[in-house]
Every structure is written in structure tokens, then in C-alpha cells.
Amino acid sequence: MPTCAPFPQTTVTPATFASTIPSTPSGETASAPQLDVAGQLLTLLRDTTTEPRPDTQLEALTLAVAADLPVLLWGEPGIGKTAALTQLAESLGLPLTTVIASVHEPSDFSGLPVIGDDPAEQGVPMAPPDWAVRLVRAGRGLLFLDELSTAAPAVQAALLRLVLERRIGALQLPPGVRIVAAANPRSSAADGWELSPPLANRFVHLQWTHDHEVVVRGLGGTWPRATLPRLDPAKLPEAVDFARRAVCGLLSARPALVHRLPTTQTRRGGAWPSPRSWETALVLTAFATAAGSSRDVLSELVRGAVGDGPGFELLASLDRMDLPDPESLLADPAAAVLPERGDLRQAALDGVVEAVRARPDRARWDAAWALLVRAVETGAPDLVVVPATTLATLRQEDWDVPASIERLAGAVSLSQRADRAAQRTAAKSAAATAKAGR
């Protein structure tokens, strides 16, 4: 086997070591210039650019910031929450003020008592910290509360007024200040705590994850650009009306969702429904509508306000609001435009059948059958099985069976046979599994 040649041994004395360091004309060592070169290298490494790139979580964050709502980013350590906030502040032209919540005392947020000349007359004012004074002087800025999940309960209690009322001691933060916080899950936080329910209910909770392509391209020098959403002035009244109808319509039908405090401490530290968080969801729905945001962005926002379950119910309610009017469909079945999505099409057909049930009439019954025929011609035939079966039960004795039913018979029969075959297959599989487990 080849052997490596021994490394030559040399003895380096302080004198010989000093002789290897370049000297300046004045005889001084060149350590300072070398640090300047290192600084130039660091500058080149930090010299990055941004580009417009679709990013659901970044768009949700900027929309919540535009709505002036406190945001809490949840994510594992090292995935770029702090970097995203730094880039967001630069893009929006806002001075960034970072406060590590876990290393502060409660008095740092509630105010430090300062005794004046005559406490009996003037009282004892609560002096704000220096970073709050700087924000007020600037009149605008992005306040970043980092490491929120490692803040002790007493500190979290002191943060309640800051997050909700924007007050620190006797100081009121100006409207131009936005508040964003970041936290790690308790399992990965350094000596972490669960968030208290009152503090958690004041935030829009966004789950922050890393995107492989974004990270690779960012390390190459190009990160996504955070920009405020463009709100259409012409859509503002319509957006407010739409959001109010959606939230109020859901809560009218589901009053139990108005306030539902989770049973576990972990879930209480996240998003859950309350009158306060429903107001947040309403504001976010209006902003997303006025900005023309995608349904994915709206989903991130409303679920971050009221939780996954109530958030999905609100999204379903929004979908139903977009459904065509059953009476319009019955008025002209041949020209009816049905939703493309299967669940929405099913809901539209069910709405038509319910409209006929509410006001039964021979002409309306025939129109409903014509609409089911159009649904078969333009979409999946299995979606008409349930509406057709229900519509058939509404027939009165003096109503003739329309000829259009013959066009549905084949599709309905084929769908029912497929359902029965699927049921038989599932039963055989269950029987085989039970037999194998004996």
C-alpha cells in the first residue's frame, strides 16, 4: 500500500512567526487590512437580491401586516423566521426593532415605575423602555417579538396590553407600528412554555415552513420579495359586505362556534374561536377579497385566526356563497352554468332540489330534471344520483314523467352499479382481514 510522506517538522519561534506576517510601510503588521478584506468578503456574501415569486406563507404574512393585526410565526429553529422578518421590514421600508421577549422582565413591557417630585400629586408614572421611545419618535416601524414561547408566564401577561392595545407603560405606540412575533414549538424551544390562552387569542398564527426551492435559490443570492398587497379601491365596500355576510352567516347557523376554548393547554396556546378572533377572521377575509388573494392564502389566514376546524367551516361557507342562485338555474336550465368543482356542483344541484321541494310546481320539477341532464352532459354523472333520487320522490300523481329522465337512466344506473360493486369489494376485503386476524 502506498504510504504518505512524512510532513516536514519545523520549529516556529515567536520571531520566525512574526516574520511571516506582512508588514505595512510603517512596519506595523497587516492584520487590520486583512480584516478589511474579510469584511469585503462578508459584504459580497450578504449582497443578495429579491424577485417576485409566488409564496403563500409570505403573502399571508404581508396581508396580515397590512391589516395591522399581530402575527405569530410558528416554526422550528433555523428555518428563516427572523430572516423573513428582516427582509419584510426592508421591503416595506420600515425600521425593524427586535425584542427578545424571554430575556426581559415583566416591567420592561408594563413600564418601569419612576417616582416624581410629588408622588401624592403626580402619582408614579410607568416609564417605557428605550426601544419603545424610538418607535414613537420614528412614528412607524416593525416590532419583532422573538422567542415568545420561551417567555415566562409573567412576561406573557405583561405582553397582553402591548399586543392588543399597543401600550407600554404610559406610552401609546403610533398606528404606523406593526407587531410580528415568532416562536418555536415547545418540543424544540429552549426551556419553552405554552402560550397563555389570552395572549394566544390576540395573534394570527401562521405556520412557517421552509421551501426547498426557495432556500436553494436564496442561498444562490435571490430571495422572494415581500410586497404589500394591492387593494382595489373599487372592491372595498363589496369586500366588507362579503366578509360580514360570510362570518355572520356561519355563526348564525353554528352559534357554538362563536366561542370555543380548547380543552388542552397546547391547543389553547394556538388559534381558537372567540368573538375577538372572529373579528380578526372577518378583517382578514375583507382584505384578502379586496386584494384578490388566492384561496390558499385566505385559508392560511382564517385558520390562523380561529383554528383549523372553524376556519375550514368558514371557507366552506364562502364556497356556498359563490354558488349560483337555484331560482336562476331553474329559470333557464339549458343555459345554466354549474360549478366545475365536484363538491360545489353537488351543493348547487342539492340547492335546486330543495328549491323545488320548498315550492313544488310541475314546471319547476321539469326544469330541475332538465338541469340534471345538463349536469350529466357537462360533468361527472355520479353527482346527479342523490339529487335525481330525491327529485323523483317529489313527483305528484298528476305529473307526467318527463322524457329527459330517460337520458339520466343510464348514467344513474351505471353509477349505482359501480357503488354496489365498490361496497361488495369493501365487504370482501373486510372479511379477508377479519379471517386473517383469527
Question: What is the average pLDDT score of the chain?
Answer: 82
Query: Residue 104: is its pLDDT beyond 90?
Result: no
Does some domain include residue 22?
A: no
**Which of helix, strand or coil describes residue 264?**
coil
Q: pLDDT, tens digit, for every residue of 219-278? A: 888 888 878 888 989 999 999 999 999 999 889 888 999 999 998 888 889 999 999 999
Same domain, 331 and 281: no
Predicted pLDDT at 198: 92
Same domain, 303 and 355: no
- 191's torsion region: left (phi>0), alpha (psi -120 to 50) or beta? left
At 118, is the pLDDT very low, low, confident or very high (cuts 50, 70, 90)? low
Same domain, 314 and 365: no
Predicted pLDDT at 152: 86
Same domain, 80 and 216: yes
Query: Residue 32: is its pLDDT beyond 70?
Result: no
Phi, psi of 126 (to 5 degrees): -100, 105
**Structural domain ending residue among the three candidates 321, 354, 384:** 321
Percent pLDDT > 90 in the chain is 31
**Structural domain ending residue among the three candidates 290, 321, 352:** 321
At 438, is the pLDDT very low, low, confident or very high (cuts 50, 70, 90)? low
Q: pLDDT, tens digit, for every residue of 77-103? A: 888 888 888 888 888 889 999 999 888
Looking at the structure of the chain, the number of domains it has is 3
Same domain, 159 and 251: no
Does some domain include residue 5?
A: no
At 68, is the pLDDT very low, low, confident or very high (cuts 50, 70, 90)? very high
Same domain, 154 and 207: yes
At 437, is the pLDDT very low, low, confident or very high (cuts 50, 70, 90)? low
Residue 91: which of 59, 67, 68, 69 has the closest Cα?
59
Does some domain include residue 10?
A: no
Predicted pLDDT at 306: 96
Q: pLDDT, tens digit, for every residue of 391-433? A: 888 888 888 877 767 667 655 554 444 445 455 556 666 666 6
More confident residue, 384 or 73: 73
Does some domain include residue 28?
A: no
Does some domain include residue 135?
A: yes
Q: Which residues share a beta bridge with 98?
A: 144
**Structural domain ending residue among the three candidates 204, 224, 244:** 224
| 136 CB burial (10 A radius; 0-12, 13-18, 19+) | middle
Average pLDDT over residues 92-118: 83
Cα-based distances in Å from 121 to 116, 125, 128: 9, 11, 21
The CB density around residue 347, as the number of other CB atoms within 10 Å, is 16
Same domain, 131 and 78: yes
At 47, is the pLDDT very low, low, confident or very high (cuts 50, 70, 90)? confident
Same domain, 277 and 314: yes
Does some domain include residue 30?
A: no
Query: Residue 45: is its pLDDT beyond 70?
Result: yes
CB 260 within 8 A of CB 201: no
Q: pLDDT, tens digit, for every residue of 186-209? A: 666 556 678 889 999 999 999 998
Query: Residue 156: is its pLDDT beyond 50?
Result: yes
Query: Residue 27: is its pLDDT beyond 50?
Result: no
Does some domain include residue 19?
A: no
More confident residue, 104 or 65: 65
Same domain, 70 and 212: yes
Average pLDDT over residues 142-171: 89
H helices of 128-274, where?
130-138, 153-165, 197-200, 212-219, 236-253, 265-268
Cell for 279?
373579528
Same domain, 312 and 352: no
Does some domain include residue 94?
A: yes
Same domain, 63 and 152: yes
Containing domain of residue 298, as a range?
Answer: 233-321
Cell for 177?
407600528
Query: Residue 122: is its pLDDT beyond 50?
Result: yes
Query: Residue 117: is its pLDDT beyond 80?
Result: no
Same domain, 107 and 208: yes
Cell for 56?
403563500
Average pLDDT over residues 95-113: 86
Predicted pLDDT at 194: 83
CATH number at residue 69: 3.40.50.300
Q: pLDDT, tens digit, for every residue of 16-25? A: 444 544 555 5
pTM of the shown model: 0.72
Predicted pLDDT at 98: 92
Predicted pLDDT at 297: 94
Q: pLDDT, tens digit, for every residue of 291-340? A: 999 999 999 999 999 999 999 999 988 888 778 888 889 998 888 888 88
